[in-house]
Structure formats: structure tokens, C-alpha cells
Structure 1
Amino acid sequence: MIKREGKTMWDAILARFEKQAPASVMARLALERAMPAAWVDEMFETHRQRQYPRELLFSTVVELMSLVSLGLRPSLHAAARQMDNLPVSLAALYDKVRRTEPVLLRALVRGSAQRLEPIVSALGTVPCLPGWQVRIVDGNHLPASEKRLAPLRDQRAAALPGHSLVVYDPDLDLVTDLAVCEDAYESERTGVLPLLDSARPGQLWMADRHFCTRTILQSLQQARAGFIVRQDARHPRIVREGPWHDRGRVETGWVLEQDIHIDEGQAPWRRIELRLDRPTASGESVLWLWSNLPATIDARQIAELYRRRWRIEGMFQRLESVLQSEIRSLGHPRAALLGFAVAVLACNLLAVLKHSVEQAHREQLPEGWEASPYHLAVQVRSRYEGMLVALPVEHWPSWPTVRPAHWRSACWRWHGTSSPVRWPPASAVPR
């Protein structure tokens, strides 16, 4: 190994990229933490059902799809053609992608989020509700694919590849769980049920009115988790309700509260009425929220907390505008859902980078400054490939041996070359 001024040649190259391409260095280090190839293949062996590795490892499939999700390659075909050591044919690769089992996607997202949570927590966050872990759940439907499946080539309508349900932690800005469905028309109310198995005491789950069903709310109640869900117009049926009590004003309107029962003998839940000063975009001037939170959290807090639900919409926006989460060239449901899941992993990586940069510059920049996920992604795309050419993967330090100086140096050097992107303010009117 060549030595230069007490450093190896590879250390010197890494130091140059820390200075010239800090976002790419942070992305590579975070990727090593979140999804090391050995861990991805181990996860595959643990959760696979019918698939098996022969010549093509699952970690290779995830790596190729990551290049597409980050915008480094225009398609999976292009990523595969430019990979020097792809051990199988393109046909075998696409066959592997089309057979990716949904259970693997959930395990991949959950496991990588668990690996990243300690990093974001150590950076320091401001909780939405101190003492509680907040979880926001919502669905996302993939758009019609440009790639026609054989049975649909005589039809004018394009295929809908499927949909997914996402559990999002707004405090850490991480997607913590994912359920995917190959049937684009299956009810989200059914698809969300497996996600509720992860509900725990001390968690607060928030969702829109589509998820206000007896089954979902009672599942959260049995798990001793809290919930705030917007009331649906038709169900569940209330068997008994108490008088309304005035709880005062919040920033967006007036708050009232009453006790409700959906079963006789059941402990009462709370219904919060928020009379808005200004109607929502759909013309609604009154919102009703259901909650089982204890009385120590007053009705005004609950009304304010529900306004945080928009944060998952911001995350979906980043998936669509910053990353390639909707790969229209993939028409097979399992292939398209794999692309979406890998984009979720990339979104979590960008969240770690964003928190790290903000923490590094918190004292030097104005209060409320936010690093731009868009410009982070642009910088990663512009330098990442050249960085790996100059500094091959085998010469990068593994995460356990990463020196904190590498991470701190990259964070300090990234300031964002354009005005920081600010997502909608917390005072936005709830949808």
C-alpha cells in the first residue's frame, strides 16, 4: 500500500471526496450502515418463502434497484447493462425481480429502519408528543405502468401494479414499516391489519378517516397503543355518547369534546370536534377526531397533534419528486413494488443525511433552517458514481470501523448550494 504523509493513498482520496463531494461520502457511509450486502443476504435467507439464491444474490438485486431509485440509472435494464460482474443474464435478473416476495420487502424496510434509528436518535429530535412514539399510517397507490403485461396487451388501459401501506415516524423522519399488495384494488383497511401487529404501549398511531373502522381501532386498543383517527361518515356505529364540553381555541379553530362508546361496557373513547376558522380545500368546516389518549392529554393537544399527519404527505412527495419511487417501465406488480420499497430505503438514507447536516450547522445557521433533501439527492447523483470509480468499494471502511471524523467532516462541509427547501409549515390546515 502506498503511504503519503502518514496516510494511505486511499485515505487521501477519501479526504478529497469529503471536501468536494460530502453528500456522496455521507450517502456511502449511511448505505453501509443501513443495508450492508451481508445483512441483506442474511435477511433474505431468514424471510424467503419460495425463492432461493443460486448465482444471483438478493443484495445484488437491491443494489441495482438502488441505482435506479437514486436516479443514477434511468432503468433497471440500464443498471444491469453497466454492471461489470453481473453473474446472470438480463432475463434471469428480471425473473428474479418479478418473483420478489412481499414479505422480503417488509423485512428489508423494517430491518434497515431499526439499524438507522439509533443514529437519528443520537442526533437529537424534538418529539411531537413527549413520552410517546408517534406512528402515522397511510396508503400509496402506484400509477399505471407503461410496461404492458402479456394478458393486457389487447386492452387500452394500462396495468396498476399495486399499492402499499406505510408506517412513518415523524420525529425521526423514517419509514419504520411497510406492507405491499399486488392487487391494486384490495382495500387498504384490510392491508393495514398486518402492520398493527407492531403496535406497542407508548405508541400513538394517527391515520385519516379511511382507517376509522371498528377492527383497526380495537386492534390498537388491545395493543394498549394510543390512536388519533379522523371520523368516518358511516362507521363505526356509536351506541352511546356523552354531552359536549367546550375546550377552548387552538390556532385553526374552536375545540369541543365528548365521550363515546361503540360497545356497552367498554371504556369510553373521546371524540374531538374542531370547528375550523377556514374550510379545508374540500370545503369542510368541521372535523371530528376519535382518540383513546388519557385525559392528561387535553383535547386541544389532540387537535394540534392531528395536524402533524401532513408530514407523511411530505414524505410521499419526496419519494415522487426527489427519488424514482414510481418506475413506469416495471409493469409486473412484484417488480414495481420492489422499486417502491427500495425508494423508501433511499428516502430513509436521505433523512439521516438531512438530520446530520442540520445538527452540524445548528449553531451557525438561522433558527428553522432545514437542509434540502432535493439538493442532497442532486449532489449524491452528481458525484457518487465517480467517487466509487476513484475509490472502489473494497477500500471503503466498513461501518464498525468508520472514524467519526469522516462523518463529521462530510456533515460540516455540506451547506447546500441553493436556498433550503422548506416543507409545509406546521400551521397548515389539516386535510
Structure 2
Amino acid sequence: MLSPVFDAFVEASPVSVMMRVLMENIFNSWRMNQIFETASVRQYSQELLFSSLVDLMSLVVCGMYPSVHAAYQKKAVEVSVSATALYNKLQRIELPVSRALVHETASDLQELLHLLNVERPSPLGKQYRLRIVDGSCLAGTERRLAALRPHAAKPLPGKTIAILDPGTKLVVDVIPCEDGHSQERSKFHQVLAQVQPQQVWIADRNFCTAGFLHTIAKLGAFFVIRQHGGLGYEPVGELQPVGLCQAGTVFEQKVEIVHEGGTFQCRRIVIKLTRPTRDQEWEIAIFTNLPPTNADGVLVAELYQGRWSVETLFQTVTQNFHGEIETLAYPKAALFSYCMALSAYNLLATIKAVLGSVHGVDKIDAGLSDFYLVDDIHGIYRGMMIAIPPQHWQCFEDFTDIQMVDVLQHLATKVHLKSFRKHPRSPKKKRPPLSVDGKHPHCSTTRKLKQYKATLDAIP
């Protein structure tokens, strides 16, 4: 199925070959330049094409090179522009272009996943489509810009609101914002523009406003959103116990919420936790307009608990991929690199879906580590690109979805899942306070080991 030149890497690291095949197909030059021409407002292409920028930045966010400049030095002959021109292009990438990159590539990947038939069924049935929305503030950058140098405060280059499809595990859209101190609520109109009938939008309390909830219901969609303390409501009935969930006991009541002089009704689901949250809260309250016949209080509580999958997404993007690059201080450049990392995450989610189609979805969801997958790609990729010249990869640009599925599933059969298993840690034990000796800031490890052993031996 593949040329013999691939054989050694197919046997040693099929995951790395899968990643490069997907990058070649999804980030192909024609498609990237088309996205740029369609989404850009003022920016235009000169010597440095958008496709070349995507190719270079994909290597940085995927960890093949430690910095933008390191990748530029390696690609200097192909890029054929100065480093200054490269950074000038990066700092001017318009937000609609960064957003379109994530949205359009996710649409292409969704078509692949549709052929694989591995979409996770909704707990509510086929008539409902789930969406999880959450915001993320980009980490502070270095103070490289003249406007930032006098200030001790860590500069924030921006934030994003990501929309996750839990059925495919893909980020289907992202809303970037340059102002790191802006409220997520300032972008609600862009989120609401994506709402479609029969969708169920799941979010934390930052998205809990009367206007946001009312608009979702008005558009024929549904919400499962944690109650914000600032949103008032009038109880229509008493809290009634409805069952147990994994986190605790579930209660339910009908409530009315005031909006623009009128009111609308919804249900308020309260989970009385067996263990407090990290903020030491013992209750979680959730508003929903899902009909009780299709979603009882326990199911609503479980739907909200599934929101944590978006937190795992952000962790993968920032820790396993290099989504937050400290040296990119300009907001547009930082947001573009973050959107590139989200697109790379989507490629990883697609690889896991392909593995699920071959080895079983439940096995992949429960036991496969993103860290070990990305680490394998980091270690093999650069050597693979030296051993296999670019011309051998170019054929994948024109592959149809059916051809891509065949190649990816063939590669998935070569993957040894044991190499990528998760190793969950046991709960941390509370440690006693450390003893402090101001006269002896250091200690001998050997002596302490002997003292510890003597203490154990003395125990009857």
C-alpha cells in the first residue's frame, strides 16, 4: 500500500507516519492558501505564502523544533524570505484567518471520521448534538516589545473560546480575542451565531447569563450550564431528590429567570457532592431547558461532568503541543500559533479515532495517553523527514477521503498500544509538614536513610 521507503518507519513508529500523512493531506498548500484568500480582510500574499507559514508553524507547535527561529533556520532555503519578513507576517495574521484555519480543517477531518463510523453516540440519542464551549487565557509571554519592557506584570497576548464536539473529540470552531483582559461575555454574540436547533450547549458558570440562556432556547437549542451566583431566579417548586450520580446526590426543581422584562422557565439541577471541589464547594447547580422526558436530573448531571473533556483538551494543547510560545509577544502571532496547536490536536484526535476503528473505541478512550503519542512523534519525526524525501509525501495531498481512511487504518494495524498506555497515579497522600533546621540548610542523604531504617527497625 505504501512505498518500500516507508517500511522501516511503519514498523518502528506508525503513529509518526500517520501524523505526517494527515498533515500532508489536511495542511496541503492549495487548501491553506484558499483558506487565507477567503478569510483574510486586509492581508495579502507576497513572497511568503500562507501555506509555507502553516508548514513552518506546524513543526513548531508539534514540538519538532523548539522555536520559530529554529524552524525558520531549517526551512530558510524553502521559505526564501528573511527572518524579519517571517515575523512581520506572523504578527499580522488576522483573527478570521486563524479561526478559519481551525474551522475548515476540522470540517475536513469530520468527513474522514464520518467514513470511519467511530463517532461516540450522544447519551441523549441521535436527535441531539452536543457542544462543549469554554474559554482559555493564553499564558504570559516574554516582554520583548518596547511597550511591555517597563512593566513587571506578565503580558497576556489574548484568549480564545473553543467549541468542542464530544462525539468526534474535535475542536470544531474557535473564537480568538486579542485582549487578554476581556470578558468571555464580550464574545457571546459570536458563540450564539454558531448555535443550531437540537444542539445541546454545555458550559461553565462564566457563560451563565439570562441573555445567553434565553437566546439558546429561542434558537431551538438546549443548554446545560452551571449556575452563576450573580444570576437570580425564582423557584417555582421545591428541590426534590431524583437519584444518585458519580459525584453525589442529585436534586431538581423548576425555576423562572427574568430576561428583558419577561420570564422563561427552566430546570435547576443541584448536585450535593460527596467530596468538595478544588474551590471547597459542596454543591453544583446547573440550569437546563432539556425536557425531563428525554433527560432526567441524573443524566443532566452526567452531561455537565463530561465538560471536563475540554479541560483535557487545553492541557494537551499547552503541555504536549507547544500552543503557547513565550517568544511570540504580538497578540495575532500568539493566537495564530495557538490555533495551529488546536489544529494539531484535531489531527491527534483523528489518529486516536482511526486507532479506535481498528482496536476498539473504548480501549482507546480508556487507556491511550496523549503524552506518549506526541512524545513518539517528537522523537521520530525529524529523522523520518530526512530519511524519506518530500516527494514521497506529496502524493498524500491529493488522496480522497476513502484513500486516506484505507492508508490510516493500514498504519493503525501496525501500532502496538502497550507503548502508549496511560499510567494513572494514585491519589496523593497528605504529607506532614517539613522540619526546618536553620543551622543546617543541607543534609546527608546517606545519614538520613540510615536514620530512617533504624527508626523502622525499632518498630515492634
Give the TM-score taking structure 1 as reference length: 0.90
Aligned partner of 2:140 in structure 1 is 144
Amino acid across the alignment from 1:276: L
Give, in angstroms, the shift of residue 36 of structure 1. Answer: 1.7
Aligned partner of 2:31 in structure 1 is 39
2 CA distance for matches of 1:314 and 1:368? 12
Indicate the percent of aligned positions where both proteins have the same amino acid: 34
Q: Note the residue ranges of structure 1 that are not aligned, 5 or more in a row.
A: 1-6, 426-431
Asked if 1:359 corresponds to 2:360, the answer is: no
Amino acid across the alignment from 2:313: M
Work out whether residues 270 and 290 of structure 1, in 8 Å CA contact, stay in contact via their aligned partners in 2. Answer: yes
SS at match of 1:406: helix
Q: How does 1:235-384 map to 2 (within 5 A)?
A: 235=231, 237-239=232-234, 241-263=236-258, 266-296=263-293, 297-362=295-360, 369-384=366-381
- Structure 1 residues 207, 366: closer, same or farther in 2, change over 3 A? closer
- Structure 1 residues 247, 158: closer, same or farther in 2, change over 3 A? closer
Give, in angstroms, the shift of residue 267 of structure 1. Answer: 4.6
Residues 6-38 of structure 1 show CA distances to partners (whole Å, capped at 9, x for unaligned) of x9xx81102333222311210122223322221
Residues 39-89 of structure 1 show CA distances to partners (whole Å, capped at 9, x for unaligned) of 110011011011000111111111111111011111111111111211211
Give the TM-score taking structure 2 as reference length: 0.85
Give, in angstroms, the shift of residue 136 of structure 1. Answer: 0.9
**Aligned-residue CA RMSD in angstroms?**
2.3
Give, in angstroms, the shift of residue 240 of structure 1. Answer: 5.6
Match of 1:58 among 50, 53, 61: 50
Q: How does 1:384-423 map to 2 (within 5 A)?
A: 384-396=381-393, 397-398=395-396, 399-400=398-399, 402=403, 405-416=406-417, 418=419, 420-421=421-422
Aligned partner of 2:207 in structure 1 is 211
Work out whether residues 179 and 192 of structure 1, in 8 Å CA contact, stay in contact via their aligned partners in 2. Answer: no
Amino acid across the alignment from 1:244: L
Amino acid across the alignment from 1:269: C
Residues 271-300 of structure 1 show CA distances to partners (whole Å, capped at 9, x for unaligned) of 111112222222211111000111221111
Q: Note the residue ranges of structure 2 that are not aligned, 5 or more in a row.
A: 427-460
Q: How does 1:172-251 map to 2 (within 5 A)?
A: 172-235=168-231, 237-239=232-234, 241-251=236-246
Moved more, 396-405 or 83-92: 396-405
Residues 171-218 of structure 1 show CA distances to partners (whole Å, capped at 9, x for unaligned) of 211111101111101111112430221111121111111110122112
Aligned partner of 1:3 in structure 2 is none
SS at match of 1:151: coil
Work out whether residues 351 and 373 of structure 1, in 8 Å CA contact, stay in contact via their aligned partners in 2. Answer: no
Asked if 1:135 corresponds to 2:135, the answer is: no
Work out whether residues 132 and 203 of structure 2, in 8 Å CA contact, stay in contact via their aligned partners in 1. Answer: yes
Q: When the two structures are aligned, how many residues end up with a matched partner?
A: 415
1 CA distance for matches of 2:418 and 2:207? 41
- Structure 1 residues 141, 267: closer, same or farther in 2, change over 3 A? closer
Amino acid across the alignment from 1:114: S
2 CA distance for matches of 1:268 and 1:369? 38
Which of 1 and 2 has greater Rg? 2
Give, in angstroms, the shift of residue 422 of structure 1. Answer: 6.2
Give, in angstroms, the shift of residue 260 of structure 1. Answer: 1.6
